[in-house]
Amino acid sequence: MNKLISKSRIIAGTMSWGSWGKNLNENEIADLIAKFCQAGITAFDHADIYGGYTTELEFGKAFKKLSVNRSNVEFITKCGIMYPCNKNNFEVKHYDYSAKNIRKSIENSLNNLNTEYIDIFLLHRPSPLMQVEEIGDIISKLKEEKKIISFGVSNFSENQINLLEKTTNIDWNQIELSITNNSPFTNGLIDYLNQKNIGIMAWSPLGDFFKTKSKSNMALLKLLEVLNKKYSSTNDQLLLSWLMKHPSKIFPVIGTTNYERISLAASSENIELEITDWFLMYEKINGKRVP
């Protein structure tokens, strides 16, 4: 199965580019896209709701200004969360996976991103009201129309995937995964995704390492100070390389807009962590030896 992201092991997450973060203007977004591409990071992760339904359009306008060939990049987007904001005054935040809303969302994303197809289209979060037959039917139609190439989910459990796979193939699951949030390695989810040949994207791949000074984070920090000398690396790079060493071929979705950190992230794939160092990091963050 072609999971499409063959050019780019690291994925650029766009959630903070617009009004939900950096408030970048069109020229700044264009420069940022170009920087990612120059670094070899050519996959861009979106969701219709980012920036209160505005970031996709801002990205699309900026991308149009560049001389980057569409076939050399990959666009990922998500649908389903109905988010109350200025642009859509919903009474309550909810999920809508009706065929009508999925089609409306994909058409909006295609227009916003100024593209004829989405490389990977994801359901953003599972809904207790999902009608899997209706979802399967509309996804099949969108594939036939070549509006989406590959289909997947985000934040879905094993049972939720099993339910949805009754009606359509699932190529991806984008999950929260990092060294500080590594439970999918032991709760069976990663094993399940491997067994089903479902690709894994990791959102928040640095976890809370840079956000909290917990005992385990501080213990890991001391170890990283030693390992950085050994590998001529940075903390960011080691945390990403730790994820990418896993045989599942995990694709981290990074949120940085800093040019230097983009370049460092791109080169983190080249760090060959020794198996003992991988387990030393695992031990420090978990606060105990493996069983």
Q: What is the rounded distance in angstroms from the CA atom of residue 193 to the CA atom of residue 272?
A: 24
> Residue 98's Cα: distance from chain center in Å?
23
Q: Which of these, 177, 199, 194, lies nearest to 285 by C-alpha position?
A: 177
**Given 50, 53, 97, 231, which residue is catalytic?**
50
Give the span between the Cα atoms of 240 and 221, in whole angstroms. 14
**C-alpha–C-alpha distance, residues 113 and 111, integer Å:** 6
What is the DSSP pairing of strand 94-95 with strand 81-82?
A: antiparallel
CA angle at 86 for the pair 83 and 88, rounded to the nearest 5°? 45
First to last CA, the chain: 35
Q: Is 192 a catalytic residue?
A: no
User: What distance in Å separates the CA atoms of residue 59 and residue 68, rounded to the nearest whole number?
Assistant: 13
Enumerate the active-site residues.
Answer: 50
